[in-house]
Amino acid sequence: MSDGGPVPGPDGRPRCPWGLSTDDYLAYHDTEWGRPVHGDDALFERLCLEAFQSGLSWITILRRREGFRRAFDGFRIASVAGFTDDDRERLLADEGIIRNRAKIDATLANARLLAEWSPGELDTLIWSYAPDATGRPAPRTIADVPAVTDESAALAKDLKKKGLRFIGPTTAYALMQACGLVDDHLDGCAARGRPEPVGPEPRRS
């Protein structure tokens, strides 16, 4: 029985236990989670999806991600900022996304706000809260992974002060984990410390 530490995957390489619970999680764990994400639109997408995840499991969002991308025009800030009341009604009727009125309204409001920011401003602000990578030891078990940190609380406070909605310390930390501001892959996980997706073991001569 696992003690919460890395578990061998289908290829024998150790991974964080959550990454082996479904095929969707395995792909996400190996190719995306914890890898650096830059760009205002890309970070806006992650910010929105983390907000939609609030109160739900991440797998619920992950399996609807393509639906979200279609519904929100690829999460292009300039495009979403121009959504009309008709678009809002369309979103509320779209079964391919989470039809939560408050979360949809927050997404539209955030896009309108961010459309007024300078290019790169969102990227710069979010990444300014990336902690020193040497400041915290690698988590050994899932119990060692925090849900909130001082940095995530400060990031959420800054974003809310600037007018962004539906962002709290827990959502901010999930964003930091997903976008590579922190590396919370467990000590011994094949994906830890790797900016590139996990690939097959190199062949030995």
Give yes or no: 117 in active site. no
Give yes or no: 33 in active site. no
Beta bridge partners of 15: 7
Whether residue 180 is predicted with pLDDT greater than 90 in this model: the reply is yes
Pick the catalytic residue: 33, 50, 129, 173? 50
Is the overall model pTM greater than 0.95, yes or no?
Answer: no
Residue 65 and residue 49 in contact, taking contact as beta carbons nearer than 8 Å: yes
Residue 200: what pLDDT?
Answer: 52
Give yes or no: 58 in active site. yes
Whether residue 198 is predicted with pLDDT greater than 80 in this model: the reply is no
**In this predicted model, what pLDDT tens digit does every residue of 95-121 receive, in sequence order?**
999 999 999 999 999 999 999 999 999
How many residues make up the chain in this entry? 205
Q: State what percent of residues in the chain have pLDDT above 90.
A: 90
What secondary structure, in 3-state letters, does 45-78 show? HHHHHHHHHCCCCHHHHHCCHHHHHHHCHHHCHH
Tell me which of 108 and 195 has the higher pLDDT.
Answer: 108
The pLDDT of 131-151, averaged and rounded, is 93
Interstrand relation of 14-15 and 7-8 (parallel, antiparallel or unpaired): antiparallel
Cα dist from 166 to 6, 112, 163, whole Å:
33, 14, 10
